[in-house]
Amino acid sequence: MNFKDIITEVYKKVEAMDDQGQLAAFIPELANVDSQKFGVHISTLNQVNFGLGHCYETFSIQSIAKVLSLCLAYSILGENIWKRLGVEPSGTGFNSLVQLEADHGIPRNPFINSGAIVISDILLSNLENPKEDFLTFVRSISNNSGINYSAKISASEKSIGYRNAALCNFIKSYGNIENDPSDVLDFYYDLCSLEMNCKDLSELFLFLANNGSNTHNNESILTKSQSKRINALMQTCGFYDESGEFAFKVGLPGKSGVGGGIIAIHPNTYAIAVWSPKLNAKGNSFKGMKFLEAFTTKSQLSIF
C-alpha cells in the first residue's frame, strides 16, 4: 500500500470522527477560524507530493515556527546556542514559570514558550533586519515567496500576551535576555504569526528529512549532525507535556502549534503536515494527533 492510499483511507476515517477538541479560544483571532478545516499534505524525498482536504488553505502555524527560528539561530551560533537554553523535555505545560525559577532563567528547551523567547532574543541580536531576514530565510527554504506574517494574528496575541510578558521579564531578571523585553516579544509574536498551508509546510520541512539540505537546490541549511539534533529535539520536546505520548503513539519527530497544525518528519523519507484547528486538552490538534497515530500505525513506518 502506498502513501497516497494510506493517507486517503486514514483521512476519511479521521474526518468522520467526533472532534472532541476546542478552538484556541485564548487568542481572539484564532477563535474565529472555521473549526471544520482539515487538511493534510505529504512531501517525500523520492518526489511524492500529495494532499487532501484543506491542504491549500493558509493557517497560522504558530509554534511550528519555533523550529524554524531555532534552525536559523542554530545555523548562526552553532553549539554555543546551548549556553542559553537546554535540550531536555520540560515535564510541564508550554508556558509554565515554575521550572524556569528552579533553573535560574535557563529554559529547558527551545520549543516551550520561554525557550522560543530566548531564541527570538538571539535572533534580534544577530540579524540586521530581524523581521525581514527571518522571512527571507523561511521563503528561501520553501521556495514560496508568498509566505508572510499576519499582522492581525500578531496583534491579537500581543493584546493578551501577559503570560509571555511575564516569561520574558522573568528570564531577563536572570540575565538571559539581551534586548528590551518589549522588542523581544514583538519579534516573538511576529514569528508565531507566520501563515502558510499544509503543502508549504511539508515542502518547507523536508530539509529535516534530508539531513539539513534543501531538496530544491541542495543547499545546506543545517549540517547533517545539526539536522539530526533538531529532529531529536522535536521527538523529545515537540509536544509540550504530550511529547512522550506523541513519541509513544506516533513515533516520529514533530512539532505542533495552537493554530491546529502539526508537522512530522520521517528522517530520510518524508515530511507530513496536518491541520485541524480544534485542540485537545494538551493544546495539540485533536484530529491531527489522531491522523498521525493512525497514519504511522497503518504505514508501519515509525522511526522506532
Smallest gap from Cβ 239 to its own copies, in A, equals 10
Under the phi-then-psi rule, with left for phi > 0, alpha for psi from -120 to 50, and beta for the rest, what region is 104? left
Q: Closer to its own copies by CB, 15 or 88: give it.
A: 88
What b/e string do you get for 223-233 counting C-beta neighbours within 10 Å, with b at 16 or more?
A: eeebbbbbbeb
Q: Closer to its own copies by CB, 139 or 229: give it.
A: 229
Burial class (CB in 10 A: 0-12, 13-18, 19+), 118: buried
Bridge partners of residue 255, in order along the sequence:
263
User: What is residue 183's three-state secondary structure?
Assistant: helix
Smallest gap from Cβ 160 to its own copies, in A, equals 8
Smallest gap from Cβ 75 to its own copies, in A, equals 17
Phi, psi torsion values for 196, nearest 5 degrees: -165, 180
Q: Closer to its own copies by CB, 59 or 111: give it.
A: 111
Q: Could you tell me which residues come within 8 angstroms of residue 174 by beta carbon, excluding any fewer than 6 positions away? A: 104, 105, 106
Smallest gap from Cβ 148 to its own copies, in A, equals 28
Q: Closer to its own copies by CB, 55 or 233: give it.
A: 233
Q: Closer to its own copies by CB, 70 or 147: give it.
A: 70
| Residue ranges binding its own copies (CB under 8 A) | 86-92, 96-99, 101, 108-109, 162-163, 165-170, 172-173, 181, 224-225, 227-229, 231-233, 235-237, 241-245, 247-249, 251, 253, 267, 297, 300, 302-304
All three cell numbers of 288, joined, read 491531527
Smallest gap from Cβ 96 to its own copies, in A, equals 7
